[in-house]
Structure 1
Amino acid sequence: MADDWTTDDVQDLSGSTIVVTGANSGLGYEATRAFARKGGHVVMACRSVERGREAAGEIRDELPAASLSVHECDLADLDSVRAFAEEFEATYPSLHVLCNNAGVMAIPRAETEQGFERQFGVNHLGHFALTGLLLDRLIGTGGETRVVTHSSNVHERGEIDFDDLNSVERYDPWDAYAQSKLANLLFAYELDRRLRDAGLDVKSVACHPGYADTDLQRRGPEMRGSKPRLFAMKASNALFAQSAAVGALPLLYAATHPGIEGGQYVGPGGFRNLRGTPEVQRSSERSYDREDARRLWAVSEELTGVRYGFDRSLPGRVGRLAGRVTDGRPG
């Protein structure tokens, strides 16, 4: 465990550009606040620009010198993801850290704009597409850059149902959430392997927050209109959860700690990995299944139309030299 590691230990980030999805609330908001305090420029990628601007204003009230910009990025719509990536490339010459943070949890079944089950579509496919579309910028920045993907310890109950990825035949909110969080880890580890094979100085790291008090837990009961479940969730958060600021520490550690290696998994090291200061941990055995990871990668490329274009015969060269990332639409 990184004893007493806090936001004070985040290194100076002056000159760094950091993208945080879901930056307007919860863990994303706390991470944005911490990055800004250390001098980084944070691009807040938010589904709602209005809520993003309100969050940015709150941070600037506390940190007047905070360098923040707000851009629309709805992970439930691949057209929005592409538009964000295009705007980012046209605006920012570098990208040092991409934080794949936004997500939805245990909601009633719904679909994204492209017809994917919403938890799988937002939590995994949206971030898969975003990472691929920003990969050239990560590579071209120079020096070490990172992709940090937020998972959950709920991934341990997850299975990838390749015959029913969109939960059409059977839908359980928690099973769908667990599948999406397992997909996050399979993606993060496979991405790191491919980056290493290509000889690129980009690290892919995964993390989880433990049990943190955020709006994420409340949205499912609210969408169901279940007041008893909402009350129980609020009571549980009040009694057992750590704050969102502490829950964001693993993300900050994964994004900034100089000792982090690609392919590692960071989470709180306290009671049952639910709370405490961050440490490098091991995720479930299923999350290291390379065959599932390769299969999920191929399916994700097909569903999103985003192909990363790695060419392993050209070490250290990708993108423009090896067949630039495409953003074709799924057929």
Structure 2
Amino acid sequence: MPLELDSLASVRRFVEDFLAMQACKSCREHSRYRPCSNRLAELPLHCLVLNAGVMALPQETVDGHEYQLAVNYLGHFLLANLLVDHMAATASPRDPGRIISLSSSAHLIPSALQRGDLSDLQSASKYAPWQAYGQAKLCNLLFAYELDRRCRFGGIPIASNAIHPGAVATELKRHLPQNQEEDKGPLEGVYQALKSVVQPLLDLIVQSPEEGARTTVLLATSEQGKLSGYYWQDGRPSASLDTEVQGLLPPPLRALRILSRLLKAVAPPEKAATSYDTETWRDLWRESERLVGLEASEKPSAFAGPP
């Protein structure tokens, strides 16, 4: 089924088409975003990986949103909200649904949102492609945490996590200026010389798509994926681990966690300070509802009650 995350209408059509596959003609229970319970088992939704992304596109979407914010975050936010009820209906505490949000270490790029300021999510005041990309990735992280908080509050058996996949050799950077097929003028020779030196070094640290997908696959298929509310990288959660989490990690990873704590004083931060601010989580969620035009009938019934 087609899905274009740069169009909120496309996201809504996709969800309607998906749920229409479960509409039961023998009853009237099925509604726009509520599947019929008589047929839920025929097409359960176990895992949702919010993976799509673009980089450095100074454009607006058909809805008037900054392109990176729209594709990397707002489209995913709407998609997840419209599918939460369906996922929750077939999940259980022993076998929770899983929603995995692709964030990035780029969320550490300084931005207004890092200061808890949501007034310029669209990067309208002064557009900087990398800052806009980092801000969108911070939105992914805060969304994953707030989704986890709401699921815990409502007793909803859905695990929500965010991950940093690392540097991966994909087409994500194809829209960057240095990758465009155009004449670079008198600096062409300098650019090519630098590229010949730097590229081999980059090739040593950049992962293949298969390697970059390992943490995502781990959370989608393993027992560790039942944990919720963590920011994962290199197959491990970067949040402080409690006894329950430690028990699910193999001994080598437990040892690495101890070592990482010893080195924490000299290591760069893994997460922005804003990622710990629950008020910013809530504020971003409410602002995201406004930006995607989430109607009352579209909001997950599972989240009924105080936010």
Question: Identity of aligned pairs, percent?
Answer: 40
Task: Name 1:125's counterpart in structure 2.
Answer: 74
**Aligned-partner residue type, residue 3 of structure 2:** C
Q: Indicate which of 138, 142, 149 corresponds to 2:91.
A: 142
State which of 121, 131, 134 in structure 2 corresponds to 1:175.
131
Match of 2:169 in 1: 213
- In our comparison, the structure showing a higher alpha carbon Rg is 2
Which residue does the alignment assign to 2:48? 98
Q: How does 1:107-256 map to 2 (within 5 A)?
A: 107=57, 109-143=58-92, 144-159=96-111, 160=113, 161-221=117-177, 222=179, 225=182, 232=195, 237-256=202-221
Partner of 1:14: none
Aligned position for 1:304: 292
Structure-2 residue corresponding to 1:262:
228
For normalisation by structure 1, the TM-score amounts to 0.65
Cα deviation for residue 136 of structure 1 reads: 1.4
In the alignment, the residues of structure 1 paired with residue 144 and residue 181 of structure 2 have an alpha-carbon distance, to the nearest angstrom, of: 31
Instruction: Report the alpha carbon displacement of residue 305 of structure 1 after superposing the two structures with TM.
Output: 1.7
Higher strand share: 1
Between the aligned partners of 2:303 and 2:237, the Cα distance in structure 1 is 35
CA distance change for structure 1 residues 158 and 182 in 2, over 3 Å: closer, same or farther? farther
User: Which residue identity lines up with residue 78 of structure 2 in the other structure?
Assistant: A
- Structure 1, residues 68-88: CA drift from partner, whole Å, max 9, x if none? xxx211110000000011111
Give the letter aligned to residue 266 of structure 1.
Answer: W
Aligned residue among 77, 86, 96 for 2:7: 77
Q: What is the SS of the residue equivalent to 1:259?
A: helix
TM-score for both structures, normalised by structure 2: 0.70
| Match among 242, 264, 275 for residue 287 of structure 1 | 275
Distance 1:133 1:321, change over 3 A: closer
Q: Quick one: higher RCO (CA 8 Å, sep 6+), 1 or 2?
A: 2
Contiguous gaps of at least 5 residues in structure 2: 23-42, 240-270
Aligned mates of 1:113, 1:309 — CA distance in 2: 23
SS at match of 1:72: coil
TM-aligned CA deviation for residue 112 of structure 1:
1.1
- Residues paired across the two proteins, number: 237
Segments of 4+ moved more than 3 angstroms: 222-237, 307-311, 320-323
For 1:33, the equivalent position in structure 2 comes to: none
Letter in 2 for 1:256: T
Q: Aligned-pair RMSD on alpha carbons?
A: 2.7
Secondary structure (helix, strand or coil) at the match of 2:98 reads strand
Deviation at 1:111, TM superposition (A): 0.7
- Asked if the contact 1:207–1:267 (Cα under 8 Å) also holds between the matched residues in 2, the reply is yes
* Pairing partner for 2:17 from 87, 95, 100: 87
